[in-house]
Amino acid sequence: MLRQKPEPGEPPTVSVQNLSITYRTTFEKVPTFKSAIVRLGRGERAIREVLAVQDMSFEVPRGTAMGIIGANGAGKSTLMRALAGVLPPTRGRIEVRGKISSLLALGVGFNGMLSGRENVILGGLAAGLSREAVNQRAQEIAEFAELTEFMDMPMRTYSSGMFQRLAFSVSVHMDPDILLIDEALSAGDASFKVKASEKMNELMSSARAMFLVSHSLGSIQQMCNDCIWIHKGKLMMHDTPERCIKAYTTFLEVGENAFTLDDF
Partner 1 sequence: MAAKAVKSKWDADLQVYEPHKIGLPNIKQYYRDLRTRIPFAVQFSRSGIKAAHSQTVFGQMWLVFNPLLLAMVYYILVSLLSDRGGIEYLAHIVGGLFVFFFISGSISAGAGSVTGGGRLILNMAFPRLLMPLAAVRTAFFRFIPTLPVYILINIVAGARWSWNMLLGVVFLFLIVVFSVGMAAIMATLQVYFRDTTSFLPYFLRIWLYLSPVLWFVEDAESRLPAHIHPFLVFNPLFSLIGGWTDLTLRGLMPEPRIWIAAFVWAVIALVGGALLFMSRERDFAVRI
Residues lying near partner 1 in the complex (CB under 8 A) are found at: 9-11, 23-24, 81-82, 84-100, 102, 104-105, 108-109, 111-114, 118, 121-122, 125-128, 130-131, 154, 177
Which helix or strand (DSSP H or E) is residue 57 part of?
Answer: strand 47-60
CB atoms within 10 A of CB 191: 9
Please name every residue paired with 215 in a beta bridge, in sequence order, or none if there are none: none
Closest to 168 (Cα-Cα) out of 34, 25, 264: 264
Select 104 or 236, whichever has its Cβ closest to partner 1.
104
d(CA 68, CA 7): 25
DSSP 18-42: EEEEEEEEE--SS--HHHHHHHHHH
Question: How far apart are CB 172 and partner 1 at their closest, in Å?
Answer: 15
Question: How far apart are CB 43 and partner 1 at their closest, in Å?
Answer: 19
Question: How far apart are CB 222 and partner 1 at their closest, in Å?
Answer: 26
Question: How far apart are CB 93 and partner 1 at their closest, in Å?
Answer: 5
Question: How far apart are CB 105 and partner 1 at their closest, in Å?
Answer: 5
Question: How far apart are CB 91 and partner 1 at their closest, in Å?
Answer: 6
Select 130 or 260, whichever has its Cβ closest to partner 1.
130
**In the 8-state DSSP scheme, what is residue 258?**
G
Distance of CA 217 to the CA centre of its chain: 16
Decide if 106 contacts 185 (C-beta within 8 A).
yes
Question: How far apart are CB 208 and partner 1 at their closest, in Å?
Answer: 10
Select 127 or 185, whichever has its Cβ closest to partner 1.
127
Select 15 or 197, whichever has its Cβ closest to partner 1.
15
Which helix or strand (DSSP H or E) is residue 251 part of?
Answer: helix 241-252
SS3 at position 229:
strand
Q: Is the dihedral of CA 127, 132, 133, 135 positive or negative?
A: positive
d(CA 227, CA 154): 41
Half-sphere exposure of 157 (CA within 13 A, CB side): 10
Select 170 or 245, whichever has its Cβ closest to partner 1.
170
Select 25 or 191, whichever has its Cβ closest to partner 1.
25
Select 98 or 218, whichever has its Cβ closest to partner 1.
98
